[in-house]
Amino acid sequence: MSYQLYRNTTIGNTLQESLDELIQYGQITPALAVKVLLQFDKSINQALSNRVKSRLTFKAGKLNTYRFCDNVWTFMLNDVEFREVQEVAKVDKVKIVACDGKNVDDRR
């Protein structure tokens, strides 16, 4: 079982929109769309853990809110500075949603 949380990203949302259109035009069934999404979960989880090598650090001016529910952490951070080596990106507000990474071996 792969995490489904990546469905709520640019690549996940655009897939869901595409599937919705195909369902509306009657070209696929909702059941088939679900299978595609499950395949997406598998593919994106694998791709992230095997193909991505970049490392970042970040520093937040303030942890505004935190929430821990069903093993999922949600944080609202203010005045966050992301840093990758020399490069810096600043945002005034960011939401972090994080699932437990320790289950990673169970779900392969």
Task: Tell me which residues in 28-47 interact with another protein (CB under 8 A).
Answer: 28-29, 31-32, 35-36, 39-40, 42-47
d(CA 5, CA 50): 18
Identity (one letter) of the amino acid at 58? F
Whether 23 contacts 1, CB under 8 Å: no
Report, in Å, the least distance between residue 26 CB and another protein.
10
Instruction: Classify residue 79 as left (phi > 0), alpha (psi -120 to 50) or beta.
Output: left
Sole binder of another protein in the list 30, 102, 105, 106 (CB under 8 A): 102
| 3-state secondary structure at position 85 | coil
Report, in Å, the least distance between residue 90 CB and another protein.
7
Identity (one letter) of the amino acid at 14? T
Sole binder of another protein in the list 11, 69, 70, 105 (CB under 8 A): 11
Report, in Å, the least distance between residue 88 CB and another protein.
6
Residues 53-82 that bind another protein (CB under 8 A): 53-66, 73-80, 82
| DSSP designation for 8 | G
